Amino acid sequence: MKIFKFIRGLCLAAGVFFPVAATAQTGGLTVELNKVEPSETGGCSAFFLFRNETDNSFDGFEMSLAILDTQGVIDRLLSIDAAPLPLSRTTLKLFEIPEIACENISEILLHDLTSCRPQNGDEMDCFPILTLRSRAPAALVK
């Protein structure tokens, strides 16, 4: 009986001291603006990496982005469809931002997630599991 109490105490202590273990099984979804370069059409080509470390593949993943110029003024809204996002994979997607040069983009704001639908599931709120990053000169923010 003493050994049972001892083991139970160790398990409870592990939950207090190592709470990350409970959440480590389900990772998040990272969207990274990896690079931008001038496109042949005079706009800007934006290369995005989507790192899906969740327990779901996504059949639907659409973002509404606000493109801000160097003055911080919204130049345009852009909707992009990044689906599908396979489970435990990093996916590269290329999107064209028309009629604005890359050097004139200061920030890309994730205005809304118009779709976040796991495979064989219902739409869900993905903002809590979403992390945004940028390696490009333009910031990518929520």
> What tens-digit pLDDT sequence spans the chain (142 residues)?
454 444 445 444 444 443 333 333 368 999 999 999 999 989 999 999 999 999 999 999 999 999 999 999 999 999 999 999 999 999 999 999 999 999 999 999 999 999 999 998 999 999 999 999 999 999 999 9
Alpha helices in the chain (DSSP H): 2-17, 20-23
Is it true that the peptide bond before 128 is cis, omega within 30 degrees of 0?
no
Q: Does residue 118 contact residue 61 with C-beta atoms inside 8 Å?
A: no
Q: Strand runs (DSSP E) across the chain, as ranges?
A: 29-38, 44-52, 58-69, 74-81, 89-97, 105-118, 130-134, 139-141
How is domain 26-141 classified at the CATH fold level?
A: Immunoglobulin-like (2.60.40)
Which sequence spans correspond to the domains of the chain? 26-141
Q: How far apart are CA 79 and CA 84, in angstroms?
A: 15
